[in-house]
Structure 1
Amino acid sequence: MSATFPDAVVLEGHGIRLEPFEHRHLPGLWRALGRPEIFAAGYGGGPSGLPADEAAFDAWFPQYCRHGSGGRCWVVVRDGEILGSSSMLNIVLEKEHVEIGCTGYTPAVWGTDVNPATKLLLLTHAFAHGFGRVAIRTDEVNAHSRAAILKLGATFEGIMRRDLPRADGTWRNTAVHSITVDDWPEVRAGLEARLGS
């Protein structure tokens, strides 16, 4: 099956709703994500990437979450409240590769079912569109994110050294994980069991 560009549609299940990003979401995203503790872990290029105010966030976020113009971004909503966002980016149709990233949530939902539910919806969407490999990457120093990625069922592939510049000008080593179409049945079953579905 050849991969096709993922549709910008609402994805819903497991108590959350993923809405394709629109500018109307920006005030709620600022409330959820415009916090030093989120950027301290590497989101947005690290602590120096935190926009100075809501206007700066509004200018920055649409480019960040869509990785320029080459990705799709979803806003994570529960009971009408915006909790964060996650994206599909680095889409290479001919190789059937996609990455899920630029993920951030308000600290109130860290360690809850929000991230596994979000990832289950996005992974299901990716594999339904014919992707054979979904990468999930994070800063090597982000131990919390690395543990969460492994708990999803992703396989650690290694460290890409000096991979991306951080907002402060230093260089990030990137921990690379993936889930392939061959892994997907087992990963999906594990996530569904974890979410009690």
Structure 2
Amino acid sequence: MTAAVRLSPDAVLEGATVRLRALTRDDLPDLFDAIGHPEVFAGGWGGGPAAYRDTYEEWHAFILRYLAWKTGNVTAVLLRDGDRLVGTTTLGDFDLANGSAHIGWTAYAPEVWGTRVNAETKRLLLGAAFDNGFERVKLQADVLNERSRAAILRLGARFEGVLRHTQPRADGSWRDTAVYSILREEWPAVRDALDERLAAASA
């Protein structure tokens, strides 16, 4: 099967807790309320602590540059209870010739950290990627971001290694990137484990 970039702009992915749809410019004030906090940047997201902007105007300019608006499926993560926006994630970095994609650019409101939101969001996006024919889905994090790295491992992704000096952080230091992946042949077991985890979390 040939991998497809397709997540229709009108597509909605529904879980028990979250609803995923395309993030729009109209969502940005609500996204700022959700993730415009120093602790979101502290682990390395967005370029690290030095990338944090405390005014909406500066943050708005940053988020328009940072997210993969033109090349990825930039997604809004909403709680189904109240339809409140609590984060964003993206399926992007498409390499169709080799069936590869990347789930990243993920940030959530601190209040949903440690809940089922991330696991369910990734379950829905991974399912969409593999259903659309991808062979490999990459996930990655700043090597210093222990919280995100632990969350990626809990999803069932395999650690591949560390790429050194992949990009400068906002403070000018060089970021090393820890890379993980899930392959098509691994997805059924990963999917089943995620489903069991989510079922236990709602029990």
Range of TM-score over shorter length: over 0.9
Deviations 1:103-153 (A, max 9, x none): 000110101100000000100111111110000000001111111100000
1:50 is displaced (CA, Å) by: 1.2
SS at match of 2:185: coil
Residue segments in structure 2 that go unaligned for 5+ positions in a row: none
Q: Is this contact kept in 2: 1:18–1:74, CA < 8 A?
A: yes
SS at match of 1:32: helix
Query: Alignment partner for residue 105 of structure 2, among 94, 102, 107?
Result: 102
Aligned length: 196
Moved more, 6-15 or 139-148: 6-15
Taking the aligned partners of 1:73 and 1:82, their CA distance within structure 2 comes to 13
Taking the aligned partners of 1:84 and 1:98, their CA distance within structure 2 comes to 20
The letter of the residue matching 1:55 is E
Taking the aligned partners of 1:45 and 1:193, their CA distance within structure 2 comes to 34
Q: Which runs of structure 2 are paired with 1:108-123 in the superposition (5 Å)?
A: 108-123=111-126
Aligned to 1:182: 185
Taking the aligned partners of 2:168 and 2:6, their CA distance within structure 1 comes to 27
Taking the aligned partners of 1:55 and 1:155, their CA distance within structure 2 comes to 38
1:27 is displaced (CA, Å) by: 0.8
Structure 1 moving runs of 4+ over 4 Å: none
SS at match of 2:70: coil
Aligned to 2:43: 41
Taking the aligned partners of 1:71 and 1:17, their CA distance within structure 2 comes to 18
Question: When the two structures are superposed, what TM-score results if normalisation uses the length of structure 2?
Answer: 0.93
Q: Is this contact kept in 2: 1:71–1:90, CA < 8 A?
A: yes
Q: Percent identity?
A: 43
1:168 is displaced (CA, Å) by: 1.1
Taking the aligned partners of 1:28 and 1:192, their CA distance within structure 2 comes to 29
Moved more, 86-95 or 176-185: 86-95
Q: Which runs of structure 2 are paired with 1:22-171 in the superposition (5 Å)?
A: 22-66=24-68, 69-78=70-79, 79-171=82-174
Question: When the two structures are superposed, what TM-score results if normalisation uses the length of structure 1?
Answer: 0.96
Q: Is this contact kept in 2: 1:71–1:88, CA < 8 A?
A: yes
Aligned to 1:4: 4
1:15 is displaced (CA, Å) by: 1.3
Residue segments in structure 1 that go unaligned for 5+ positions in a row: none
Q: Is this contact kept in 1: 2:23–2:76, CA < 8 A?
A: yes
Taking the aligned partners of 1:119 and 1:167, their CA distance within structure 2 comes to 27
Taking the aligned partners of 1:21 and 1:62, their CA distance within structure 2 comes to 12
The letter of the residue matching 1:15 is T
